Chain A
Amino acid sequence: MSAPPISPGLAAPVNLNHTGHYLHWGVVQISVANLAVVGIMVLVFLLALVLPFPRGRGRDE
């Protein structure tokens, strides 16, 4: 069954409708998509460490 048409505004910014791209380092094999997710997670982790946290109202410090 074919998927219903998706309006351009809701379409994925990256066309994923094809075979995945893979990277190889010896025995290590990972898809570009998964490597991107891992990279984003590391970035989020580092941002969580360095970005200032907003102070709540009524907290004097």
Chain B
Amino acid sequence: MSDQNVPSSVAGTGAGGWTGVVRRRAVRAFPPDRLLPDEQPSWVASWIYVFGVLTLSALCVVLATGGVLALKGPAWWHISSTGRYVNSLHLWSVELFMAFMVVHLWGKFFMAAWRGRRAMTWITGAVAFLASVGTAFTGYLVQQNFDSQWIAGQAKDGLNSVGIGGYFNVLDFGQMLMWHIVLLPLALGLLTVWHILLVRRRGVVPPIPLDAGSADEGDPS
């Protein structure tokens, strides 16, 4: 049932069941021109604002190459030249992903990007960064070489020393593979979608005003 068929007297109430309530809230929070804008404020015309989308682009390559590796399996990525090429693409796209994300983090930190009701945008980005560190770490653990054995041995002592070693076993290859290809990518994916929706909802943070009396923080809502 479309919104045109809902009498104005009941629109905004519980009419239409839970799907209607969710739809009205979603449209209110994310009107189409805010969800998919075709222009940005003038201050966005700076290279420092490019690193968010660079991070996202690198993440797409990470997920795509990781999907191919999962489909083909370790015998392929260890032995065949094509497999090793895709394995390298997976590694280097992660390197770029982390580097772009850190530059993005520096930029947002120095422009105090949590201003204008953007605290949750900042928090989801910071937690996504931590999830990325965990995903990259478990990736190192499942290389199936001496490097991964060394890292797992060192990490086991470190994690035990801070009291969280009982929750997972970094020496367990199967468990770490599942963390790397299921749990952590799922968490990182959800955090990324949440982060981007919040950026759309609150808009890109404006520069810190030179005039201390100016309080415009660019919150569109």
With a cutoff of 8 Å between Cβ atoms, the chain B residues found around residue A45 in the complex are 48, 103, 106-107
Q: Which of B23-31, B39-47, B175-183 binds A?
A: B39-47
Whether, in the assembled complex, B199 has its beta carbon less than 8 Å from a beta carbon of chain A, the answer is: no
Convert A38-50 into 0s and 1s, putting 1 for each residue whose CB lies closer than 8 angstroms to a CB of B: 0001001101110
Contact B42 A61 (CB under 8 A): yes
With a cutoff of 8 Å between Cβ atoms, the chain A residues found around residue B46 in the complex are 48-49, 53
Point out the residue from B42, B45, B79, B102 that lies within 8 Å of A41, measured CB to CB. Answer: B102
Contact B47 A55 (CB under 8 A): no
Contact A51 B47 (CB under 8 A): yes
Point out the residue from A4, A37, A48, A49 that lies within 8 Å of B99, measured CB to CB. Answer: A37
Interface size on A, residues (CB 8 A): 13
With a cutoff of 8 Å between Cβ atoms, the chain A residues found around residue B173 in the complex are none
Q: How far is the CB of B96 from chain A (nearest CB, A)?
A: 11
Contact B81 A47 (CB under 8 A): no
Name A21-61 residues within 8 Å CB distance of B. Answer: 37, 41, 44-45, 47-49, 51, 53, 55, 61
Interface of B is mostly: helix
From known contacts A1-B79, A48-B50, A48-B51, infer whether A55 and B45 are also in contact, taking CB-CB under 8 Å. Answer: yes
Q: Give the CA-CA distance A61 to B41 in the complex, in Å.
A: 12
With a cutoff of 8 Å between Cβ atoms, the chain A residues found around residue B99 in the complex are 37, 41, 44
CB closest residue in chain B, given A44:
B103
With a cutoff of 8 Å between Cβ atoms, the chain A residues found around residue B47 in the complex are 47-49, 51, 53
With a cutoff of 8 Å between Cβ atoms, the chain B residues found around residue A61 in the complex are 42
Point out the residue from B42, B48, B81, B102 that lies within 8 Å of A48, measured CB to CB. Answer: B48
Convert B158-199 into 0s and 1s, putting 1 for each residue whose CB lies closer than 8 angstroms to a CB of A: 000000000000000000000000000000000000000000
Name B6-60 residues within 8 Å CB distance of A. Answer: 42, 45-48, 50-51
CB closest residue in chain B, given A51:
B47
CB closest residue in chain B, given A47:
B47
Among A1, A4, A44, A51, chain B packs the most CB atoms within 10 A around the CB of: A44
Q: Give the CA-CA distance A53 to B50 in the complex, in Å.
A: 10
Additional 11 contacts, C-beta under 8 A, given A44-B103, A55-B45: A4-B81, A37-B99, A44-B99, A47-B47, A48-B47, A48-B51, A49-B47, A49-B48, A53-B46, A53-B47, A61-B42
**Which residues in A have some Cβ–Cβ distance to B below 8 Å?**
1, 4, 37, 41, 44-45, 47-49, 51, 53, 55, 61
Q: List 15 A-B contacts (CB under 8 A).
A: A37-B99, A41-B99, A41-B103, A44-B99, A45-B48, A45-B107, A47-B47, A48-B48, A48-B50, A49-B46, A49-B48, A51-B47, A53-B45, A55-B45, A61-B42
